[in-house]
Structure 1
Amino acid sequence: MIDRLGHSRRSRDLGDCDVTDRERARPWVIDPTTPSVARMYDYYLGGKDNFAADREAAEKIMKLVPNAREIALANRAFLRRAVRAMVESGIDQFLDIGTGLPTQENVHQVAQRVNPDARVVYVDNDPIVLAHARALLADNRRTVVISADMRDPEGILRHEAVRAHLDFDRPVGVLLLAILHFVVDDAECARIVATLRRAVAPGSTLAISHVTSGDLTEEEVRQGRDVYTATPAGGIVPRTHAQVRSNFEGFDLLPPGVVPVEDWRPEPEAVVLPRRGGIGIVGAVGVLR
């Protein structure tokens, strides 16, 4: 993704998570009265890094979507299995876009458990996410955190810390987990994925998880969209299996393809989550031809 766009150089000191001068100067303003999708997700997972506005918005979603917590937990479990499959196939560098607040079994923890030399770049634009991640990873020189927006994939690819940390002449594992549904325009969603696809080397892997409407009515989907419209994300849109599958153009899907995330290579000892009414979430992993 990077060397094809420009030269690569070594990092200064990855121990400080490669905070650039521009990022140090940026005024990190946190508005606790505006709900954040990352902090809402943290609340679904049972975390405590959230404000009253996040909890209020999340509770509205949970009234509409009884399985919201189960969906969040299933997505985290999919992350673990997908990353493990990638690193076991030889992927040793990862770009996780829309990482969210650190919790158990993050990408670097899963990957480095199998390969201690695995490198990870986390990308997010939520100031609380960035603060927590940088504090957590201050002593992990193989993992960096950058401030960037997935809607500007070119900016992510040009970022000096990304250029320094990842070698895009070799395969990279790209993760877009539970994030593309916040891009409400289908054409923009396709552009983001296509930009990343064009930049990675053959053999790179792409993991996507994305919400579907499940058994929600159109009115319930609209009400849920209204809640997310009040966040900086600007909205949410469920997509179909076929729409999610279209993002893997040029990739060979690993079995079992695009399926509900809980059905993607489930672990025998995994706790089976109750299938209550609400949204669905599908996921897949593909290898670039």
Structure 2
Amino acid sequence: MTGEPRHRRSSVTQQPTPETTPEEVRARINTSQPHTARIWNYWLGGKDNYEVDRATGDQIRQLHPGIGDYARADRRFLSAAVHHLVNEVGIRQFLDIGTGLPTADNTHEVAQRLAPESRVVYVDNDPLVLAHARALLTSTPEGRTDYLDADLRDVDTILEHAARTLDLSEPVALVLLGVVIFIEDEAEAHRVVRRIMDALPSGSHLVLSHTVTSPSMPDVDAAVAFWNEHGTPKLTQRTPGQIAGFFAELELLGPGVVSCNRWRPDSADESVEEVAMFGGVARKG
């Protein structure tokens, strides 16, 4: 998927939820209704999508021509954040919830290129992601990857499963890219993120991105409204200030909560047009 040789599977890599049969997974996949993970995959140039997803993705792109840039900006943000956490902070454990469909430079691929001993647990409740989870379950011999079919709200289940692969007494990077948008209730969204971070030790980090609503981007609101009328699951936008609230009581790293393509870019070019996908990285003290 990355154009580079794939790592051989580690002998300790676990298989995705063995109690879930392929037939049960296929039964949960609705190919008649557009789905956000498949549209995201389409915008990234992937092939794990259907005609209904491509048609809706094109309609959304007509409402907001720059929408495809969100997916690429979010992916760049993930890579930049993982690079920083591995190289500058020394993080070797990642809990990636809301994984999405496998594509280029998944979390474990970025982390294990830099530190082969890195361990990653992926979590998603999308049956299509589960169907492709084996593509995420590759690892260096020194590292480990695992996958859990669960909802972000299932905090106890996630932490119990993650503890089989990760040492939760050591720092962990919690990765929540474009997933909190699926929790509409503000208090519940903050409570879920806080519960997971509370279970992680000092030195752990939160990496979070979220679609924004802004008076300067009315076409974004129109695109989200179209999606919520035709697609699944429904999305909730938040202001940059509301997104910053998820990092409360944490040490927010520079440059703060910004457009994902402006979080520690490779160049100092300030003319890069911001996208309505904002993100930030913060440390638990």
Q: The residue matched to 1:247 in structure 2 has which SS?
A: helix
Instruction: Name the counterpart of 1:282.
Output: 278
> Runs of at least 4 residues of structure 1 off by over 4 A?
138-141, 272-275
Tell whether the 8 Å contact from 1:253 to 1:287 is kept in structure 2 after alignment: yes
User: 1:283/1:47 Cα in 2 relative to 1: closer, same or farther (>3 Å)?
Assistant: same
User: 1:126/1:273 Cα in 2 relative to 1: closer, same or farther (>3 Å)?
Assistant: farther
Q: The residue matched to 1:27 in structure 2 has which SS?
A: helix
Between the aligned partners of 2:99 and 2:17, the Cα distance in structure 1 is 19
Between the aligned partners of 1:220 and 1:204, the Cα distance in structure 2 is 33
Instruction: Name the counterpart of 1:145.
Output: 147
User: 1:164/1:73 Cα in 2 relative to 1: closer, same or farther (>3 Å)?
Assistant: same
Tell whether the 8 Å contact from 2:82 to 2:111 is kept in structure 1 after alignment: yes
Instruction: Name the counterpart of 2:251.
Output: 252
Instruction: Name the counterpart of 1:190.
Output: 190
Instruction: Name the counterpart of 1:60.
Output: 59
Can you give the 5+ residue segments of structure 1 that lack an aligned partner in the other structure?
A: 1-12
RMSD between aligned alpha carbons? Answer: 2.5
Instruction: Name the counterpart of 1:9.
Output: none
Instruction: State the structure with bigger RCO (CA 8 A, min sep 6), 1 or 2.
Output: 1
The Cα offsets for residues 210-237 of structure 1, whole Å up to 9 and x where unpaired, read as 11124333x862662342354442x112
The Cα offsets for residues 143-175 of structure 1, whole Å up to 9 and x where unpaired, read as 11111111222221123xx22101111110000
Between the aligned partners of 1:81 and 1:147, the Cα distance in structure 2 is 26
With normalisation by structure 1, the TM-score equals 0.85
Between the aligned partners of 1:93 and 1:139, the Cα distance in structure 2 is 13
Instruction: Name the counterpart of 1:157.
Output: 159
Tell whether the 8 Å contact from 1:60 to 1:227 is kept in structure 2 after alignment: no
Instruction: Name the counterpart of 2:114.
Output: 114
Instruction: Name the counterpart of 2:205.
Output: 205
Between the aligned partners of 1:66 and 1:163, the Cα distance in structure 2 is 42
With normalisation by structure 2, the TM-score equals 0.86
Can you give the 5+ residue segments of structure 2 that lack an aligned partner in the other structure?
A: 1-10
**Letter of the structure 2 residue corresponding to residue 63 of structure 1:** Q
Between the aligned partners of 2:164 and 2:258, the Cα distance in structure 1 is 35
Instruction: Name the counterpart of 2:99.
Output: 99
User: 1:191/1:172 Cα in 2 relative to 1: closer, same or farther (>3 Å)?
Assistant: same
Q: The residue matched to 1:164 in structure 2 has which SS?
A: coil
User: 1:223/1:85 Cα in 2 relative to 1: closer, same or farther (>3 Å)?
Assistant: closer
The Cα offsets for residues 17-71 of structure 1, whole Å up to 9 and x where unpaired, read as 3334433488112221122211010011111110112112212221222111111
Between the aligned partners of 2:171 and 2:138, the Cα distance in structure 1 is 26
**Letter of the structure 2 residue corresponding to residue 74 of structure 1:** A
- Percent identity (aligned): 39
User: 1:226/1:178 Cα in 2 relative to 1: closer, same or farther (>3 Å)?
Assistant: same
**Letter of the structure 2 residue corresponding to residue 129 of structure 1:** V
